[in-house]
Structure 1
């Protein structure tokens, strides 16, 4: 472990770094064309990765956990206040199809990687279960499957570091793809085209999208206050359903528990219902999207922090290779099926992202690129990966164990 210049318990200094670097990333994105093309999200992520790997900031801290626990949930309602439920469901059907096709890539990648490396990595069946589950619906599945197979702590730690580094690198690649001419020629890009059509003179695309707008103290109060209430009620409802439905119930009840007992799925569902039933209240709130987007940029900074390259080299180079094979095959399958069935480039990118990182990272990418119509749909579709991931990870773990 690198001895960082800032210790993990320096709460204010770390918060200053997270929030300050998020602000710098947004400022660069809106003032320089190179930064706009690269995206503020990548600047936030890569900057944090460099600072963590050079020992300026620690790779682990309770401050980072707070971002996952509080900042990310609060951002989701804020970003859905202007969502039209009818349009969201129309978009979700297409995203669900490419998400499921992308999941095939995770399964295929896990099988190929296991066959290639099963004699080289001790305990690979359980590692494969965790990573394949994680690369179907995000890190929530990783934790659940680590518990399910009672994986030793040191193995979990090594796999987490490999998972974080691969996730960060892959997000970097996915965000860069829209700027590559080959992909723009081969795939439809309606959301990117719409944003570029809004470009105004010497402004960057990002600055043109995030125009200055009228906002009052009343807007800030209602936006933040409503978000806190919605998060609190949603998480309490999900907790109640998890308590009422036993964890070891039959398949139907287990699936139901995973759906209505999931914090983020409940949060997304409740927000969309409220926005649909009392639309005038939410439509009158200015600035909610801006506040939510800033919170998501803080999240992007945190994603880059745990990707410790020295720890990977020391503890888990083969696990990193195993995860890389899965990610590579997921990408090939996602873009191949996407091309075959004529999905939009934005849909393919977000679906593959939702597989590898989960719904929150996919939504964050959609927000950072200005693909606002896809934020709600990818949150809905991505949360279904929590259910799929647990079943896929468990099935592969048991199958691989029987082959050893």
Structure 2
């Protein structure tokens, strides 16, 4: 058993390093279907389940303290590319579709929780709020809401398993829908003129990662996170949701959006460094999880499946009423449920020229995800 806090932190770093290297360089097909961060969660949770990690508070303290800084720093970096000016220029039809997507998933989550509340754990609403955040913006939002609400690690594990499983199945559905696009568009009598975005979307050139860019992304983001945390600790709590962590996340989110409209947003390595931080945050959460109660997972998988079914029915009805094409529906859904990793891929399966639409949708979701998750917590927590 590991009884030294720094050694536990070292194990998390070593496992993160191994998985990142394997995912990027091994060529193993498994990583096409299951992201490395999921293996990070499963690996750390398994080590804790078999008793490798000690449960003493002093053992957990170093990794926990580091995560409290890495989480806001990671969100700050992920918002570097979220230029709201570009997103606004997508036009009303695309933005309306995105809004309906968010509302359908939000409503579905609340309704399904209401139906299953009696058979779920008392604090399951916290985990489902984290899942809602993930299905609006991505994994970074998921762990942000988990940190704010302090969702129990075990229950959060069910949400993560549901997220990964349903996400994979949903992507298969979206990719498979490409062949039905013309038939679907005839069914909805879709007008695709709003997809001519040549004057809206510009391609950004990749810049090489240098020592100075790493200094900005690593040291700069950590400094911003530490200052935001200090300010957040001194602001008043409002109810059960708006606490010091909420204020911290709000501060770094606003600062991230400010940076996104400045030349600093093009600093190389922001997304990569943010991804490294995400691994460590996931690892810290997983190190407190226990698989011994995994029998509850199928119930959460059922909840997730019903939420996506409700979402699909709403989007089909919306498409019919507004004469919206399948591309717009599919990419809006992928940008919510899958985030930045999958929305461009789904967009590219329809047309390579429309990949930036998926990117912009996903970036908008990455900003909104945390706040949508917290809104869901307010509603579900009141039941």
- In the TM superposition, residue 161 of structure 1 has moved relative to its aligned partner by 4.6
| 1:305 equivalent in alignment to 2:319 | no
Specify which of 295, 298, 316 is matched with residue 277 of structure 2: 295
| 1:280 equivalent in alignment to 2:263 | yes
Partner of 1:37: 32
Distance 1:36 1:287, change over 3 A: same
Aligned partners of 2:170, 2:131: CA distance in 1, in Å? 22
Maintained 8 Å contact 2:75/2:274: yes
- In the TM superposition, residue 219 of structure 1 has moved relative to its aligned partner by 1.9
1:239-258 matches, within 5 Å, as: 242-243=235-236, 247=238
What's the CA shift string for 1:2-27, capped at 9, x where partnerless? xxxx33x4222222221221221122
- In the TM superposition, residue 50 of structure 1 has moved relative to its aligned partner by 3.0
| 1:54 equivalent in alignment to 2:50 | yes
- In the TM superposition, residue 101 of structure 1 has moved relative to its aligned partner by 1.0
Which structure 2 residue ranges, 5 or more long, are not aligned?
134-141, 180-205, 319-325, 347-354
What's the CA shift string for 1:117-147, capped at 9, x where partnerless? 4xxx8xx7x546555655545677778889x
Partner of 1:183: 174
Aligned partners of 1:11, 1:286: CA distance in 2, in Å? 33
Aligned partners of 1:291, 1:368: CA distance in 2, in Å? 22
Matched residue SS, 2:51: coil
Maintained 8 Å contact 2:80/2:256: yes
| 1:263 equivalent in alignment to 2:248 | yes
Distance 1:384 1:323, change over 3 A: same
Maintained 8 Å contact 1:135/1:389: no
| 1:172 equivalent in alignment to 2:167 | no
Aligned partners of 2:170, 2:298: CA distance in 1, in Å? 26
Partner of 1:85: 84
Aligned partners of 1:388, 1:222: CA distance in 2, in Å? 33
Partner of 1:103: 106
1:388-403 matches, within 5 Å, as: 388-396=375-383
Aligned partners of 1:394, 1:47: CA distance in 2, in Å? 31
Aligned partners of 1:289, 1:178: CA distance in 2, in Å? 25
Matched residue SS, 1:81: helix
Aligned partners of 1:235, 1:97: CA distance in 2, in Å? 33
| 1:380 equivalent in alignment to 2:367 | yes
TM-score by length of 1: 0.64
Aligned partners of 2:333, 2:84: CA distance in 1, in Å? 22
What's the CA shift string for 1:229-284, capped at 9, x where partnerless? 332444455556x43xx737xxxxx99x78996322321121211331xx22442x
